[in-house]
């Protein structure tokens, strides 16, 4: 198996076997760091960082230098022609004609996919907005494996900003893929987005139990336990567990506590005003005295701000600086594999818990666009060439997932391309949750984000939509 010429945009792009193979190569490189020079001689890496970075950028650049390759870099969007209105696709084509591989960090979700679609060379996503950060996840998984030998069956607690933390989103899927149980401790208001949860449940086969708040965890100074994801390989099934049993589960110990900072740069104005800082508990010596954390690895993708006290740096459970240092050999191995200067050797069987799902794709031009304001597909410079495209991940309720940023949403109205039989009077649109909508075959589905949009496309409201419109109009007049 070879990874040469492929891109890494989301953690789903790598199978468990490929990740294990990458880790084997990382071990070899980490054990003889100074002997790798020359592996990528003559290769050029473009390092494009349009959001701040210390670890990811400098570890990628260090990795390429250690492999004997060269680096070209742009670390300020204002110093590139993107600031003159150039599209990401045009930039990708040009940089792809200069460099052999591109590493990109960009604030727009799905930007790395666009670069991968147009560059013609391998592309590595170094963080696209709040979407994913797959190479950080490789560092995280590698660290857990080095410290605990296996990921399967471990209990990993995710702490803090689970809404905007891109490292969290990639890590959730990776942990599920390797059969870990996940405990969600979000800062209130910063819970894991619904579309991430939906994907986790549908595509990774485990069970998710949601909780309001557990008195015990609040008492211990933790964020409330919001939910537990239990892998299908887990001996206990959640259906049999009461809150009391979960408290017992917690007391058996958490294998790793993955702390994240509040991602303030992505907060909405409302969230910024919500005094989230005051309600963000600090992981400190006192908290780590709790029984659940006796043997817990304390991890953090860094940078930290106030959520992780400096006093725990000397604690042997704290491994976040080791985690960051491992970024260099991990990224050396990844660059060598994607550039095809090293081959993948996959140890053992690929025992992934992910269940690849072949969803129908919706790409009709019916005026529907991704509702995520940070999605690359709706940005002014990109709409000239990006055609919105969605996976139909559910029919009840109808749920679309943008192929760029992976946000999920439930559109309001649908119609069928084969029901009107040429008669304009029959060309009706329906509520997406109506019994008519459920009868429409996937290949005939036309989806609208508003009634006015459906009408602009020549469709008339069905009886139930008209009744709904009358009710809304009456309510407005009152």
Residues that bind ligand CP (CB under 6 A): 53-56, 127, 133, 136, 301-303
Task: Give Cβ neighbours of residue 436 (< 8 Å, ≥ 6 apart).
Answer: 430, 462
Nearer to ligand CP, 110 or 301 (CB): 301
In the complex, what is the shortest distance from the CB of residue 303 to ligand CP, in angstroms, rounded to a whole number?
6
In the complex, what is the shortest distance from the CB of residue 54 to ligand CP, in angstroms, rounded to a whole number?
4
In the complex, what is the shortest distance from the CB of residue 357 to ligand CP, in angstroms, rounded to a whole number?
29
In the complex, what is the shortest distance from the CB of residue 20 to ligand CP, in angstroms, rounded to a whole number?
23
Cis peptide before 303 (omega within 30 of 0): yes
Nearer to ligand CP, 4 or 75 (CB): 75
| Nearest Cα to Cα of residue 184 among 147, 142, 217 | 217
For 25-66, give the DSSP string: HHHHHHHTGGG-TTTTTT-EEEEEESS--SHHHHHHHHHHHH
The CA angle 355-361-366, to the nearest 5 degrees, is 150
In the complex, what is the shortest distance from the CB of residue 114 to ligand CP, in angstroms, rounded to a whole number?
20
Nearer to ligand CP, 54 or 81 (CB): 54
In the numeric block, which tokens belong to residue 328?
Answer: 């260099």
* Helix (H/G/I), strand (E/B), else coil: 110: coil
Nearer to ligand CP, 156 or 386 (CB): 156
In the complex, what is the shortest distance from the CB of residue 301 to ligand CP, in angstroms, rounded to a whole number?
4
Nearer to ligand CP, 108 or 390 (CB): 108
For residue 222, what is the enclosing H or E element? Answer: none
Residue 342 per-residue DSSP state: S
Nearer to ligand CP, 69 or 301 (CB): 301
Nearer to ligand CP, 127 or 451 (CB): 127
Strands 181-186 and 227-230: antiparallel
Rounded Cα distance, 117 and 120, in Å: 7
In the numeric block, which tokens belong to residue 368?
Answer: 């529907």
Alpha-carbon distance values, 208 to 36, 183, 247, 379, 469 (Å):
44, 10, 16, 34, 37
| Sheet of 460-461, strand order | 445-448, 413-416, 428-431, 460-461
In the complex, what is the shortest distance from the CB of residue 19 to ligand CP, in angstroms, rounded to a whole number?
18
Nearer to ligand CP, 163 or 342 (CB): 163
In the complex, what is the shortest distance from the CB of residue 125 to ligand CP, in angstroms, rounded to a whole number?
11
Task: Give Cβ neighbours of residue 331 (< 8 Å, ≥ 6 apart).
Answer: 59, 60, 63, 135
């Amino acid at each position: 198996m070879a990874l040469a010429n492929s891109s890494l945009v989301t953690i789903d792009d790598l199978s468990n076997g490929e990740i294990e193979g990458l880790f084997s190569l990382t071990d070899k490189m980490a054990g003889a760091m100074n002997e790798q020079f020359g592996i990528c001689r003559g290769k050029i890496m473009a390092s494009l960082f349009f959001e701040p970075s210390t670890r990811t950028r400098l570890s990628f650049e260090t990795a390429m230098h250690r492999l004997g390759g060269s680096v070209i870099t742009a670390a300020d969007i204002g110093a590139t022609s993107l600031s003159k209105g150039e599209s990401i696709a045009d930039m990708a084509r040009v940089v792809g004609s200069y460099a052999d591989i591109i590493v990109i960090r960009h604030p727009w979700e799905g930007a790395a996919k666009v670069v991968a679609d147009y560059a013609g060379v391998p592309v590595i996503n170094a963080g696209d907005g709040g979407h994913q950060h797959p190479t950080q996840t490789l560092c995280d998984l590698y660290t857990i494996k080095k410290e605990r030998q296996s990921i399967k069956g471990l209990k990993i607690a995710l702490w803090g900003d689970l809404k905007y933390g891109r490292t969290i989103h990639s890590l959730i899927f990776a942990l599920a893929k390797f059969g870990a149980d996940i405990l969600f401790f979000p800062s209130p208001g910063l819970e894991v987005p619904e579309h991430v949860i939906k994907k986790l449940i549908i595509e990774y086969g485990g069970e998710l139990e949601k909780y309001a708040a557990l008195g015990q965890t609040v008492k211990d100074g933790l964020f409330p336990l919001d939910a537990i994801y239990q892998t299908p390989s887990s001996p206990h099934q959640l259906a049999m567990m009461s809150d009391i049993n979960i408290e017992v589960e917690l007391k058996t110990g958490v294998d790793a506590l993955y702390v994240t900072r509040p991602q303030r740069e992505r907060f909405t104005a409302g969230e910024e005003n919500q005094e989230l800082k005051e309600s963000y508990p600090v992981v400190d010596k006192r908290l780590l005295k709790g029984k659940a954390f006796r043997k817990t690895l304390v991890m953090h993708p860094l940078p930290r701000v106030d959520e992780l006290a400096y006093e725990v740096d000397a604690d042997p459970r704290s491994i976040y600086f080791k985690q960051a240092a491992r970024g260099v050999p991990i990224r050396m191995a990844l660059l060598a594999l994607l550039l095809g200067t090293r081959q993948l050797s996959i140890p053992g069987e690929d025992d992934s818990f992910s269940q690849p799902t072949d969803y129908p794709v919706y790409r009709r031009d019916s005026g529907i666009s991704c509702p995520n304001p940070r999605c690359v597909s709706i940005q002014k410079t990109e709409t000239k060439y990006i055609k919105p495209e969605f996976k139909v991940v559910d029919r009840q309720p109808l749920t679309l997932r943008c192929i760029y940023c992976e946000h999920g949403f439930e559109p309001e109205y649908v119609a069928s391309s084969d029901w009107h039989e040429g008669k304009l009077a029959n060309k009706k649109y329906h509520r997406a949750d109506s019994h008519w909508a459920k009868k429409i075959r996937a290949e005939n589905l036309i989806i609208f984000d508003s009634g006015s949009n459906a009408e602009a496309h020549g469709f008339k409201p069905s009886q139930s939509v008209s009744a709904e419109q009358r009710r809304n109009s009456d309510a407005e007049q009152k």
